[in-house]
Each structure stands twice: as C-alpha cells, then as structure tokens.
Structure 1
C-alpha cells in the first residue's frame, strides 16, 4: 500500500469519528433528557429537531470527505494540491531533495493502447517506484501526481546516491517496460531549499527535465519567476537585437538569403538567444506580443537595407502566433504602414507535435502566402512535425535538420537527403542545407544541389552594418 493510501485511510477514519461522536452524543442526550425532564410536547419536539440537524451534519461530512480526498483516483498517489502542500511544509529543507518523474511517452501510450492501459501503466509504474524506494530503505516517501505525466516526491537522502538510484530505476523501466508496453521516463531533482516558492521549485524541475545539452548556449541560473520578470521587462524596453547569417545559392554565391537570429539583452544575464527564452515567453503569455515586438523592431532596422538589395530574409516565428488572426492583422498593418513588400520574407515554423486541425492550419498558411509571405519548415526531418506538415500544408521552403549535415556521409542520411531534395523539387519547394562549417562539407552538400546552403563556411552571423560591407 502506498504511503498516500495510508494517509487517505487515516483521513477517512477521522471523518468517520466526526460522524460517530455526535451520534453517540445525541443518544446520550435522549436518554439523559428522558430522566431529567418531563415528557411534555416541547421537550419532545426539541429533541426530535436534533435528528435532522445531525442528518444534515452527517451528509455534509460525507460530501466534504469526497470533495477533500487526498489521493489521485488513478494512481492512488497524493493529488496535486496535497503534494504541493506537503512540499511547502517541509521543515529540514536543506537536507531534503525533491524529485520530478516524467513519463515522456504517455500521450503515445494512450493513443496506441488506449486510456485504460495508459492508466494501468501509470499505476504500476508508481507501485514499482514505491517498491524500489522501499528496497533501498526509503520508506513512507510521499509521492504525488503533479500533472498528467509528471509525479513529484521528496526524501531526505544524499544527493549523489539518490541520483544513482533514480538512474537505475529509470533504466530498468525503459529496458523492461510495463505489461509489454515501452515506457520512456526521465527525472530531475533539486534541493527543497532552492526557493521558498513551491511553484518556482516545480518550474525549475520541469526546466531541468526539458534541458538539452547545447554547447553554444549558456545555462540560465536564475530562478524562474525572476527570469520571467527580467525577460518581460527586456521585451517591454525593446532590448531585442538581430544578427543576419548569409546563405548562398549552391551554384551562384551572388544570390543572397539572410537568416535572422533574434537575441535579447538581459543585462546581468548577458545576451540570450530566442531558443533559450522561448519557453518562459510562452508561459508568461507573451508569445504573440514577443513576435509582434520582433517584427516591429526588425522592419524598422531593415527598411533602409531593403531598398538597396533584393535579398530574401528568413525569420523563425511561433506557429501559435502564425495561427493567431490578431497577429496576422498586425503584420498586414505593419508592412502596409512601412511600405514593405512581404514577398521578401520567409516565415519559418518549427513545431514538436502536429496541429490537429490541419485543414484550418493550411487555410491560414495559404492566407499568409496570398499576402506575399513564403512559409518554411525548419529542422525538417528532425524530431518534430515537419514530415506531417509537408503532407498537408502548402509550403515554400524546407530547411534540413542539423542531423543531415552531421551524418551526411552515412548511407541512410545520404539516401534520405538525396530523395528529400528530389521530392521537394518535384513539389516546387526550395531547400536549404544548414550548419556547413568547412569547405569539405560545403562540397559534399553542394553535390546534392540544394537551393541554398548556410553555415559558418559561408559566413558567421553579421550585424546590420556588416551586411552592407558584404553586400
């Protein structure tokens, strides 16, 4: 039995006592009153009136008991409210570790095997976790379900040892699975003394869980709420600037296309890329406002250059912003006010999971193309929805994922790249191979005859002033 189930049983026992004690008291009053008072009508009525009061009280306690259950009905762990409450009440925070366990493929399990099997997997996963912790002398560990696929628990245990144990547990689950179902899980852990705010602690755990090893990006060390305020403040103060990375046509280096890289100046934290702050921007509800701010500042900066060059400019925007009709109206008015032709701009989208209403999405894409914009799929062929979008959306460009460049000599990638480019050409879609940093790699990429090639071998990102120098 889970620790949470034991606590729930205690809670229900206390509720039962609250119901039983007044009943015994009421019986005592009846018997005592019959001996002390005369059996007149008034006394009898007063005593009888106590019965509906008691019935109401009993029904209320039963209803309240169901409304204030401590546990999640599926996994029998503590529910979100209770586990967060228990974390807030931790006393020896400097000695306590909080762990987030994430079932990464729960959505796939539900889609493939059904929700009943998905629920069964979660329940058995928690039972295995409880048994594993008990086996390693960690008893009565509070485990709670934070979200659909995330669980929290805390314990007092040495950090390195607990990390080692959790690595063993996650590997054992991923190697064996549950009920012949593959289960992909990961974990993140942090000290309970990290912050007084439980919300900040959980947010940090989620960030740690999602973190990827990108050598070129520095790790953000600020607490989530402080980082959120800093980013929002920087956006409001227009502390955004842009770098322009030239891309060239494989057979004609005079034709130019510039990839626009958005940067944000956080002063104390330095310069961060859009990718580093995107999640925080989204959670703050600034996604559309951020993209609007980017375009407003970008076009003001680019306007003089656009009159001197026929180059194309490609910029990544959030697909959520792209699907927002208010954002589209903003772009229309902005380009009209500044008298800039949209056909000079390629809007690049990258989305992890495909949008469900594909017909509606394609209508939106077409409406942007009618205005003159080109639409590109970024990180094409990577771990995202790009292949699915190629089937359903009217696309102008595909920009290949970095894996195709890194593995350009591997047979599988070589064959895929060759046929993807041929497929794109037959669909009148232009292609780009990215992250080409050496001449040897440039020559190999050129052999596939993509429309454009990008990378440090061509040029490093430039400021607006440096574009004039290379134009």
Structure 2
C-alpha cells in the first residue's frame, strides 16, 4: 500500500469518527432522558423535543456525508494524493533542512486519450503510478508522498537533497522513456529540484515544469550555476526590464554566396552584474505577463542600433505581442521616430500553440510587411504551429529547426530538407538554417541551395 492510500484510510477513519461520535452521544442523551422520565409524566413537548433531536441527528449525518466528498485526499483514478492535498503536504515538508521534489510526466498522455480513448488513458495513469512506485521500492525508497497534479503530471516528495536521487531519476526515466501498457506506448520524462533552490513550493513547481518543457523540446536544461534564487529573480527581472538593463549579442548570418545578409540578435538581461540567459528569464517574463513590455523594450533598443549602422537585424518577438491590439500603431510610431529601420528589421515568430483566428493574424503580418518589416517563421519542423502558419500566411523567410542541421548528413534528412526548401522557394520565401558547425554540413546546405545560412563555421571561416 502506497503512502496516499494509507493517508486516505486514516482520513476516512477520522471522518467516520467525526460523523459517528456526535450522533452516538446524542442518541445516548435521548435514551438517558427517556429512561429517567416517568411514563405518566411524558408530555407532548417531550415527543416534540425527541423529534427535533432526531431531525438534527439526521441532518448532521447527511451533512457530514456531503462534506466527506470534499475531504477526499486521494485521486479516484490513480489513488495518489489530490493536487490540493499534495500541495498542502509538500509546503510543510519543504521547510525541512533537505527535501527534494520530483516531477514525473507522461509526455504523450493527450495522444493516448485521443487515439485509444479516455478509459485506456485512465488505465495508463494507474499502471504508470504502479510501475513508478515499484521502481522506487526496488531502490529502497518507501513511504513517499505521490500526488496527481494534472493530466499526466505527478509530484513525488523525497527526504534529503536531490543529489541523493539524481541517478535514480535518470535510471527511472531511461527505463520508462518508452514502455508498453496494454500495447500502448507510454513515454515518461522527469525533472528534479530540492529546497536549496527555494522553500517556496510554487517556485519549485514552476522550475520543474520549465525543465520538462526544455527536455521535451531537446533544449539544454538550466544548469545549477545558471540558477538564481527565485525569490530574488522575479523582482530582479522586473527591475532589469524597467531599467533596460540588458546586453544585445549578435551573430552574422550569410547568404548562399557567403556574403553577410543580416545580424541575428539575442538579448540577455543583466542582473546584479551577472549575464542571465534567455532560457532562465524568458519563462519568468511570460509567467509575470511581461512579454509585451520586454518585447517593446527590445524593439526600441534594436531600432536605436539599426539607426547607427547599415545592417539588417533579426530577433525573436512573441506572437502574442504582435497580435496585441495596439502593436501596429506602436510600430508606426516607432518607424516615424526611426525611419532608418524600414526594410532592415526581421521578426522571428514561433509559438507552440496554433492561434485559431488566422485571418486576423495574417492581416497583422501583412500590415507589418507593408510597413517594411520582414517576417520569418522560426522553429519550422519542431513546432506544429510553424508549419500551419506557413501554410496560411505569406512570409519572407522560414528558419528551419536546428535538428535538421544536426542531422543533415543523414540522406533522409537531406532529402526532406531539400523538399522543404523547394516548397519555401515556390511560395516566394527564403529558406534559412542555423547552427552550421562544420564544412560538410555547410557544403550540403549549399548543394541543397539553402538561401540563408547561420553558424559558427561561417564565422570561423571569415576570421581565417
């Protein structure tokens, strides 16, 4: 029996006592009064009182049953703690000197529900909990709180620091990275943090989900040395954005003839004289609802930079900012202030979820293009939405996801990229790849005819 089941049994016993004891004592009181009342002296008021007592007993009994539904502490599907109880439990536990929280997620649960039905999805949830529990038991880890947070996401609380469990989590994720339940493939991913990071549970959980997201997209996860105390991070990021405290880095991007085509810009915030990478601060910016403020700050700095040189510059901007009601008027005002930026700015747009009001989005994109802003769809081949947007919206460039570049020496990837390049060109857009690191990859890109090439190999080539 796992800890949540034990706690649920204890909780139900306590609830039964709360329900039964008051009724029991009321019954005893009624019997005592009745027995000590001579039969000849029993009046109608006694019967009325007894009836009222009985009515109160019945009401109290039904009320406690109703309240019992609200006091369930385990999820009926998985028999793990509910989110509310798990949060309440962990908030006390993380105040200890060393305590670790692990997030384990069924990465493809949505696909399982869509393909095999919700009932099979529930079976997958139950069996996954059983397999995770069995695995941890095999490593000598017992009586740990396990809670179902949402969908396929589970939190596990563990005594001691995360260093004690890193190898266990890695082994678990490796073992269950792809396993079968009733011939249904289940994919598991995990992340881990301890209370040395923070003793605020909300910060810990946000960090765990950020790590999960980075793992799912094959990005580099945040290293310990890059972490900043989240209690300080939020206020520091707000201050950095309000004070425009950041550095802009650029990398030259080349056309197929080896000439510099544009500078690709990226920003890093300066917090307490430390350079903070986007992978650290962008999730916080989004969570705090500061994406628009950050984008506009960056836009203003880019406009100043372009006004001082002759280069075309590209940079990533949030599609939600672009779709904001007053963004077009802001851009008109900015271009009036910095007329030199016309035809010299490239917006790189990408997002995980597809925006359904595609007509409005397309109209906004075309308005920007008419102003002299070039539009590039980024992360093509990683985010499904990027492919859908390219199908629906006219753009100037398409930047392929870096996994195409990394696998370009594979004949299959080469043929796929060639086909995509031809499709992009046929729709009057330019193809763009990044992270070209060596001569062979560069030569394959040229052979395919990729229009825009970016990477360290070309930078080193120019330095020779």
Question: TM-score of the superposition, structure 1-length normalised?
Answer: 0.85
Q: Which has the higher mean CA deviation after the structures are superposed, 111-120 or 232-241?
A: 111-120
Q: Match of 2:379?
A: 379
Question: CA shift at 1:371, angstroms?
Answer: 3.8
Question: CA shift at 1:116, angstroms?
Answer: 2.7
Q: Secondary structure at the match of 2:81?
A: coil
Q: Deviations over 1:345-381 (max 9, x none)?
A: 2211122344455455434433433444222112333
* Distance of 2:184 and 2:194 partners within structure 1: 33
Q: Match of 1:182?
A: 185
User: Does the C-alpha gap of structure 1 residues 438 and 401 become closer, same or farther in structure 2, counting only changes over 3 Å?
Assistant: same
Question: CA shift at 1:14, angstroms?
Answer: 2.1
Which residue among 259, 279, 295 is the counterpart of 2:283? 279
Q: Match of 2:425?
A: 425
Q: Match of 2:299?
A: 295
- 1:94/1:191 contact within 8 Å kept: no
* Distance of 1:409 and 1:112 partners within structure 2: 34
User: Does the C-alpha gap of structure 1 residues 403 and 173 become closer, same or farther in structure 2, counting only changes over 3 Å?
Assistant: closer
Q: Secondary structure at the match of 1:174?
A: coil
Question: CA shift at 1:423, angstroms?
Answer: 1.7
Question: CA shift at 1:300, angstroms?
Answer: 3.0
User: Does the C-alpha gap of structure 1 residues 391 and 68 become closer, same or farther in structure 2, counting only changes over 3 Å?
Assistant: same
Q: Secondary structure at the match of 1:447?
A: helix
Q: Match of 2:255?
A: 249
Question: TM-score of the superposition, structure 2-length normalised?
Answer: 0.86
Q: Deviations over 1:222-250 (max 9, x none)?
A: 12232222112110111133233332332
* Distance of 1:198 and 1:387 partners within structure 2: 37
User: Does the C-alpha gap of structure 1 residues 244 and 162 become closer, same or farther in structure 2, counting only changes over 3 Å?
Assistant: closer
Which is bigger in relative contact order (C-alpha 8 A, separation at least 6)? 1
* Distance of 1:146 and 1:119 partners within structure 2: 14
Q: Match of 1:103?
A: 106
The correspondence of residues 58-137 of structure 1 with structure 2, limited to 5 A, is: 58-90=61-93, 93-94=96-97, 96-137=99-140
- 1:350/1:384 contact within 8 Å kept: no
The correspondence of residues 38-437 of structure 1 with structure 2, limited to 5 A, is: 38-90=41-93, 93-94=96-97, 96-156=99-159, 162-192=165-195, 194-211=197-214, 214=220, 219-251=225-257, 253=259, 256-268=261-273, 270-305=274-309, 311-339=311-339, 342-382=342-382, 385-437=385-437
User: Does the C-alpha gap of structure 1 residues 28 and 125 become closer, same or farther in structure 2, counting only changes over 3 Å?
Assistant: same
Cα RMSD between the aligned structures?
Answer: 3.1
- 2:347/2:375 contact within 8 Å kept: yes
* Distance of 1:184 and 1:370 partners within structure 2: 45
* Distance of 2:34 and 2:222 partners within structure 1: 86
* Distance of 1:11 and 1:285 partners within structure 2: 39
Q: Secondary structure at the match of 1:399?
A: strand
User: Does the C-alpha gap of structure 1 residues 205 and 57 become closer, same or farther in structure 2, counting only changes over 3 Å?
Assistant: same
Q: Deviations over 1:289-322 (max 9, x none)?
A: 11111112322333343xxxx6432221112222
- 1:240/1:294 contact within 8 Å kept: no
* Distance of 2:329 and 2:224 partners within structure 1: 36
Question: CA shift at 1:25, angstroms?
Answer: 1.7
* Corresponding residue pairs, total: 455
